[in-house]
Structure 1
């Protein structure tokens, strides 16, 4: 029945159109299909180049980033016609949603403005949201309001001014306006408003954190948006069961835009994904404000004793004696069995088979558990297929002129040992990467060279469910490949290869591939210098790729000086261009591996430097840990005087974070423990 009854607004609108046609007045188009308006993203589409009067701040108390504003906020505005391109009027029913931290009430604070819509050549407010000493005030007008006046509705709410974070939702429908604070307290008032209001947006501007005649907003703003329709509180505020909203609208590629606005509650549990990272949500059930961060809805309103720990220092914990130098290591858990670690042990001065070690975590240390015969082991990879648990080793072999077998081992629950499951013929394999696409399992093998030829195909294998074996499905041309890294972005699967040397120079392109129609196709290339490793990681909403560059040889370094000294590069995803762009370069000394990890809310990168700095100096080798510092990017946090390292891994057990590295030149690798404060 409801669908058969025309909306009263459209009846009135039809009469207005008919009148305009009769009188010859210009016909103005009504607004429809308007998208949510993200005011912060409109005035600051590039967070690295903010307008005057706007800056990024980090709230140490609540551990999140937001925007702070200064007295120079008059420049923070944009024309309304950028949004209202096909219409001239503000939506009849709308909602305003703001997540703010308001300074505690002081005697000298009067009016402060969160946003306003004003005529371009006038100081009069058509629509605005501001704060007084203990009230939140909505300023509004309609087509019968004169230019020198405005109407207001105010709500007294002292709780908003306690110095904490709060979510304010104002919905306007007909002649009523409703204020909802923190998804808990709701109050509705009648307002003096002509309906339809026909509030014109022509020759108007949106101002953020400022209104003419009022002070700039002195607090912090996390999000600020206007939604067509009056159901924002229902869409943004969860019920107690379930207590998570569903975010549905798709990402459209706008820079820094969080287009996943609160949706309906038809889905029992929302997914915290890269598209919803940074989204705030107030959990009524637990009374905590949460943020989507690294795949988890994490609370940010925490008692001081529950705040995330921070890294204080790193201390030696255990020496790991190995039968040969270690090229690579992998730490993993076998369900029901415990924590394990495999080391790829290989001494290139010996041409015979050598033993690689499987360790098991026992009574607080790693102890040798099993020896596996390997053929120039270069890397290990663990994975599960159904109830089966596997580890795979990439074997280099004894010569570039001979094929060898890389081996997949399967865990046998009865004997509690790894046994050979499948052998794959490879050429000087450097790496094996496992990944899963649409419930199907794959591995990518990086073949390094064949005899004197560095240009050789690397192979993609797919798991055959009937044969219970991997079979080849695609060959990809690579150039002295060292590493494959798989990651997922917005449902798309990517593989990036580290190409090292073409026979003439180490300065060549490494390539990023994307999965399309059952195969990987080239997506982007990067100029690298003897690349040995890629690391993909996320920080909040952003995705990064870090490449380890190890050797600078070729015409670009014709004097052959400091060949181990290279710039390793961190790339950041540009969502508009849909490309990774150079974000930061770091001077490294034969960098072999990047390892990203988190402690509390801090993001770190551990880097293995395999050579001295500068070359042939008597100083000890160093591995460096960098910490992400926002606009300062990655800053050196710790320098570790270690043996030459070729791989770093981090893991957490018993509430303690550990770091372990592989030593490629000596028969001793080391385990460190992170001390937190």
Structure 2
């Protein structure tokens, strides 16, 4: 049996492709293979909850940067104690899948001395599966489909104080069996998260902003951004890609209220 040998297509009898087109395809493939990884598109919680319509108990206010280079000042929302905002979790995750590993990103200024839940996610049975409690000692509440970890094992960050009346940029990274909190792009603390392998969060329930059901105390303060990203590394890049320093113009930012998709277009000329 005669062995088939590969030869460039432009040398075959049919001449389907010439050398120019072959080089064009080769360059295109190299560019695709070398393209940087695309960042996961964030779930913009403030946008889904329609903060821009300024519901009862909320008003617009100045944000993290009152003087941003070559741009208008940042804007934020002032949250009063009477604000009551919730939504079916599937409004945040229409495909019904909450990521196993993820980041929660927020820029906020909490009322001094307050300890309250910023975000709470409940399943359809009313069990709180996820919660971010901010204040003098932030707590990350997580309960997977098997009930782990137990409440006494929720990660507690005693050495952090977010309730000092100042603006803070906070990134929370959940990856495998650890949770890491990064505050103001510098301070980083990691705690164990005793969940099971392949832990999941049910999206058939509701998500509540600013409090936990039946709690009297609720979030009071200002918030500029609140995102969930299906990438545990996003928390480490928060101050670079999502909430940069004040010398970075708005045009270079991914705005919380206008979260969009970065599109890079590359024009390729055929090689001669």
Q: TM-score, normalised by structure 2?
A: 0.67
Q: Tell me by how many angstroms 1:155 deviates.
A: 0.7
Listed as ranges, the matches of 1:120-519 within 5 Å are 122=126, 124-132=127-135, 134-145=136-147, 152-202=154-204, 204-214=205-215, 215-237=217-239, 245=240, 262=241, 280-282=243-245, 289-290=246-247, 292-293=249-250
CA shift at 1:66, angstroms?
1.0
Which blocks of at least 5 consecutive residues in structure 2 are unaligned?
A: 1-38, 68-73, 261-272
Contact 2:76 2:222 in 1 (8 A): yes
Residues 217 and 290 (structure 1), Cα distance of their counterparts in 2 relative to 1, 3 Å cut: farther
Greater relative contact order (CA < 8 Å, ≥ 6 in sequence):
2
Shift of 1:145: 0.9
Structure 2 matches for 1:21-100, cutoff 5 A?
Answer: 35-44=41-50, 47=52, 49-58=53-62, 62=66, 64-74=74-84, 76-87=85-96, 89-100=97-108
Gaps of 5+ in 1: 1-32, 238-244, 246-261, 263-278, 283-288, 298-540, 543-574, 576-677
CA distance in structure 2 between the partners assigned to 1:56 and 1:120 by the alignment: 33
The structure whose residues are more often strand, as a share, is: 1
CA distance in 2, matches of 1:40, 1:172: 21
Q: 2:62, 2:76 within 8 Å by CA — same for their partners in 1?
A: yes
Q: Distance in 1 between matches of 2:119 and 2:165?
A: 20
- Name the SS for the 2:200 alignment partner: coil
Residue 104 in structure 1 maps to residue 112 in structure 2: yes
Question: Structure 2: how far apart are the matches of 1:154 and 1:224?
Answer: 21
User: In the aligned structure 1, how far is the partner of 2:109 from the partner of 2:131?
Assistant: 18
Q: CA deviation at 1:232?
A: 1.0
Contact 2:123 2:202 in 1 (8 A): no
1:115 aligns with 2:119: yes
Report how far residue 224 of structure 1 moved.
Answer: 0.5
Alpha-carbon shift at residue 186 of structure 1 (Å)? 1.1
Q: How many residues align?
A: 210
- Cα deviation, 1:597-623, whole Å, max 9, x if unaligned, reads xxxxxxxxxxxxxxxxxxxxxxxxxxx
| Matches of 1:200 and 1:206, distance apart in 2 | 11
Q: Contact (CA 8 Å) 1:128, 1:140: kept in 2 or not?
A: yes
Q: Secondary structure at the match of 1:153?
A: coil
State the 1:160 CA deviation: 2.8
Provide TM-score, normalisation by structure 1: 0.29
1:144, distance to aligned residue in structure 2 (A): 0.6
The secondary structure found in structure 1 opposite 2:236 is: helix
TM-fit CA distance, 1:73:
2.6
Decide whether the 8 Å contact of 1:113 with 1:129 is kept in 2. Answer: yes
Match of 2:191, SS state, is: strand
Distance 2:77 2:131 in 1: 19
1:357 maps to none
Summarize the Cα distance change of 1:127–1:151 in structure 2 as closer, same or farther, 3 Å threshold.
farther
- Separation in 2, partners of 1:201, 1:127: 11
Structure (1 or 2) with the larger CA radius of gyration: 1
Q: Distance in 2 between matches of 1:163 and 1:37?
A: 26
